[in-house]
Amino acid sequence: MVLSNSTIQRHSYVFYNDQGRAQQVHQSRLSQAARIDANQDGILQRDELLEHLEHDHQGCHHHAQEKSDPQALVAELELHLQRKPNPSAKGYHSYEQVGQDLDGLVAKYPTLCQKVSLGKSHEGREIWALRISENIDSPEVAKRPGIVITGCHHAREWMSVEIPLHVAHKLLDNYESDPDAKRRLQKAETWIVPLVNPDGYERSRTEDPWWRKNCRPVEHDALGNATSAVGVDLNRNYWDGNPDHLTLYRPEGDTPGSTDDDWGATSDDPDSDTYRGPAGGSEVEVTGLLQLEVGHPNVRAVIDHHAYGEMILYPWGYTEDPSPQKDLLVEIGQKLNESMGNRYNLQQSSGLYPSSGESDDMQSVNGLVSFTLEVGRSFQPLPTTIPATCELVGRANLTFIDEIVRRVEDGSLPPRPETGPVQPPPHEGAPQP
């Protein structure tokens, strides 16, 4: 539905909370409220909010395999419409607390882990990684199979921060008492990156619960046109600079700067939540991750956490064609699911909704085994659910480490192709090749 500015401004949109009290929609949310208010009576009814949520957070219709908690999502949407912080934030780690937690692990286990910065965000926050392995200062560590575990590409997906931190603790706190934990540190180099998008995460915690992108002002779009928009969807921005891989960032027929031919849940509109950015690899968060994952020859696999849906997703996302690694991915994915009591749904990413510029696809084309875990049933579940979710999904992460190590040792994991260094675009707004 397209509405004129005068129509939007004429309404004072409200919804009623569970206590029957009218809640005012914030001025900055009037356009979204107008789209939700199907009968245009100025009142956002519960069924209208639910109908809005029937189209998932990328604007695509919900897939049958995606599990959700409509009541929790409506509550989150209402906070977003009011532009009020979610009170559940206090039950999740803040950016500062993430750093402190990593510092505490380094202080407690100095021979087993190192805190490493992958770069600095637009607002000056370090993108922290924790490198974990036995005898961490030894050059032998870089010869062990590398596994990268990440969270929070998307700012509002708070549970995705907690799981990587939980895995770090499982690996380190159990090193002395659990032979499996010790073996993982002896056999693998594990990188924990709990907070890929620190700026967006803090904005989501303090200003807008449903903020998704990073917070860098987008001064120019892909054609060099000036824009006042803020933020890029980091999981639509992946490109390693290899011209042969550009189609994974921008599929054939998708014209730079045009929204008319946008394919799947990816947009050239700088104001969109799924904006791919002015150029592939334009964001420091993305190049920092790629330089770790593609730039370290021993890294063999990546598992990335998102929310929500209780799904295990594997490449491809940019096409519905099957990956040449499909048999391997399904086999490993089934083991991850078995470790969680087969509670999750395993499927190709494009089967949920197609999109381009995803981390999984760019990692896969560089020879890495790559999965996305969509955890939980809303973006910000109640903090009381954190321990159980972390324990469940943490088992899949530990299984993933074990599977990669085993397959490297027995030769059943295909070798990585030789790749050059990651080459981000020369400057923002540069036309794509």
Per-residue model confidence as pLDDT tens digits over 81-131: 999 999 999 999 999 999 999 999 999 999 999 999 999 999 999 999 999
Q: What is the set of domains in the chain, with CATH numbers?
A: 5-39+47-84 (no CATH), 95-203+283-410 (3.40.630.10)
| Mean pLDDT (the chain, rounded) | 91
User: Per DSSP, which regions of 160-292 are E strands?
Assistant: 189-193
Please name the residue that has the structure tokens 């996302």: 317
DSSP designation for 320: S
Q: For position 426, what pLDDT does the model report?
A: 53
Rounded Cα gap, residues 343 and 147, in angstroms: 24
Cα–chain center distance at 400: 18
Could you tell me if 280 and 246 are in contact, meaning their C-beta atoms sit under 8 angstroms apart? Answer: yes
pLDDT at 133 over 50: yes
pLDDT at 377 over 80: yes
Q: Smallest Cα–Cα separation from 430: which of 250, 244, 223, 283? A: 223
Q: Smallest Cα–Cα separation from 398: which of 192, 99, 158? A: 192
Q: What is the pLDDT of residues 201-219, one digit of tens each?
A: 999 999 999 999 999 999 9
pLDDT at 149 over 80: yes
Burial class (CB in 10 A: 0-12, 13-18, 19+), 348: buried
The pTM for the full model equals 0.93
pLDDT at 64 over 50: yes
Q: For position 417, what pLDDT does the model report?
A: 87
Please report which confidence band the pLDDT of residue 189 belongs to, taking 50, 70 and 90 as the band edges. very high
What average pLDDT does this structure show over 175-199?
98
Q: What is the pLDDT of residues 320-345, one digit of tens each?
A: 999 999 999 999 999 999 999 999 99
What average pLDDT does this structure show over 397-424?
90
pLDDT at 402 over 60: yes
Phi and psi torsions of 166, nearest 5°: -60, -45
What average pLDDT does this structure show over 18-28?
88
Phi and psi torsions of 423, nearest 5°: -120, 95
pLDDT at 428 over 70: no
Could you tell me if 131 and 352 are in contact, meaning their C-beta atoms sit under 8 angstroms apart? Answer: no
| CB atoms near residue 185 (< 10 Å) | 25
